[in-house]
Structure 1
């Protein structure tokens, strides 16, 4: 239902269409992309359901953002408890 739409999404759609129209008016052709940072991508996914994707196509624009850093990559390598002397487990 139109009454259930988030007003921020409506604003995003209008602004996107106006932006694309302005670019087309000055002669821009082809695909138009907007690069966001991870936080910007996360905010956009709050308005547009893209479920874990790293891009969204809205009103003629391709919004893209980098992939989230996997949580496993952020976990510290805790092999200190397994070390023998000055050697780490990887050196054995």
Structure 2
């Protein structure tokens, strides 16, 4: 688990750094519109947080399933989705008015 978690952290760090310092270049691959590039730049911090957290989740979920705790991993994934992910999405979408940019 230690090696896999470290590799996942390094991979997430590489992607996060590439997006953090090159988000305008990345957005320009898909659109020439300055307004779309600016919208992507404003959403980049949220994307960076999401990528970082998701890298940990994938490894830890795989370890739980591989060690024979499939039922526990299923309940943890469902619980975090419905009790953390969905309320957080509603909070960011409706309270902070991020919606679907």
TM range (shorter): 0.3 to 0.5
Greater percentage in strand? 1
Computing the radius of gyration from Cα coordinates, the structure with the larger value is 1
Greater percentage in helix? 2
